[in-house]
């Protein structure tokens, strides 16, 4: 597969990131998280072939935890496994992304409504920290870190509302929409729009402005899907 000039990707596995060794007893979970992160980051491009043996060799484990991790990723819609044949990274499924966005919007409207009603400024410290770190990541031009902090920011709001387990459910369904966001993030104005929405959501929570909180959440979560026609035109090989 050829690389897209604005979004370089790799189709081969690379060594595990420094400082994240695979530990005995949790290898499957760690490999799942590592592979998922690389798929969402488009390091493994949609349609790319993944070799179980090569991945096992890179992470220094047997093929069993790799197989288990891949099966879980298949359940999440990020891999397509052809038994006794091959494993491919799935193409981006726009319909799946739209379903996930509907789910996430429904949950996050309730989360922000609840937090704003309670004027829960004492519970959004972690989200504030994520926002500050996002600004720093943008200033340094690190869009990968910016994207990671974006997800952490939203997870912090789920935690603040006392529904952290729902974030894990949403995350497990978010591989397609997360890849769309990755493709949309470099577009002019996108990152600054994200920062603005994040700041306005926190301000609305602090001031108890329920209507504003809900309005900004709708604005924030609709942005990427509104750009799908442009994204699919620019990266047709990913769909």
Q: Are residues 207 and 114 in the same domain?
A: yes
Q: Are residues 73 and 173 in the same domain?
A: no
Confidence (pLDDT) at 20: 52
In angstroms, the CA 221 to CA 194 distance is 10
Q: Are residues 200 and 105 in the same domain?
A: yes
- Supply φ then ψ for residue 27, to 5 degrees: -60, -45
**Residue 19 to residues 15, 16, 31, 58, 148, Cα–Cα distance (Å):** 11, 9, 14, 15, 17
Q: Are residues 104 and 164 in the same domain?
A: yes
Q: Dihedral, CA atoms, 144, 146, 151, 157, nearest 10 degrees?
A: 170
Examine residue 153 and state whether it is found in any structural domain, yes or no.
yes
Q: Are residues 100 and 141 in the same domain?
A: yes
* Domain extent at residue 114: 94-238
The number of distinct structural domains making up the chain is 2
Confidence (pLDDT) at 183: 96
Tell me the CATH number at 198. Answer: 1.20.120.530
Tell me the CATH number at 57. Answer: 1.10.10.10
Q: Tens of pLDDT along the chain (239 residues)?
A: 333 334 434 444 444 443 355 655 589 999 999 999 999 999 999 999 999 999 999 999 999 999 999 999 999 999 999 988 899 999 999 999 999 999 999 999 999 999 999 999 999 999 999 999 999 999 999 999 999 999 999 999 999 999 999 999 999 999 999 999 999 999 999 999 999 999 999 999 999 999 999 999 999 999 899 999 999 999 999 99
Confidence (pLDDT) at 18: 36
3-state SS assignment for residue 88: strand
In angstroms, the CA 174 to CA 193 distance is 21
Chain centroid to Cα 238, Å, comes to 17
């Amino acid at each position: 597969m050829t690389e897209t000039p604005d979004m370089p990707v790799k189709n081969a596995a690379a060594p595990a990131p420094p400082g994240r060794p695979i530990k005995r007893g949790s290898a499957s979970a760690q490999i799942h998280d590592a592979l998922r992160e690389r798929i969402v980051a488009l390091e493994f491009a949609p349609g790319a072939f993944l070799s179980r043996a090569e991945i096992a060799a890179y992470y220094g484990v047997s093929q069993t935890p790799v197989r288990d991790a891949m099966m879980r990723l298949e359940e999440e819609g990020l891999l397509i496994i052809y038994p006794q044949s091959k494993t491919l990274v799935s193409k981006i499924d726009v319909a799946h992304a739209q379903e996930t966005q509907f789910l996430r919007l429904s949950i996050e409207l309730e989360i922000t409504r609840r937090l704003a009603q309670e004027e829960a400024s004492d519970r959004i410290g972690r989200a504030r920290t994520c926002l500050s770190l996002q600004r720093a990541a943008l200033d340094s031009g690190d869009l990968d870190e910016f994207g990671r902090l974006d997800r952490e920011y939203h997870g912090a709001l789920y935690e603040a509302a006392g529904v952290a387990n729902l974030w894990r459910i949403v995350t497990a369904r978010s591989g397609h929409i997360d890849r769309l966001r990755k493709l949309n993030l470099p577009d002019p104005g996108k990152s600054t729009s994200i920062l603005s929405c994040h700041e306005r959501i926190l301000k609305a929570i602090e001031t108890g402005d329920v209507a504003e909180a809900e309005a900004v959440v709708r604005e924030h979560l609709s942005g990427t899907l509104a750009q799908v026609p442009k994204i699919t035109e620019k990266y047709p090989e990913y769909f």
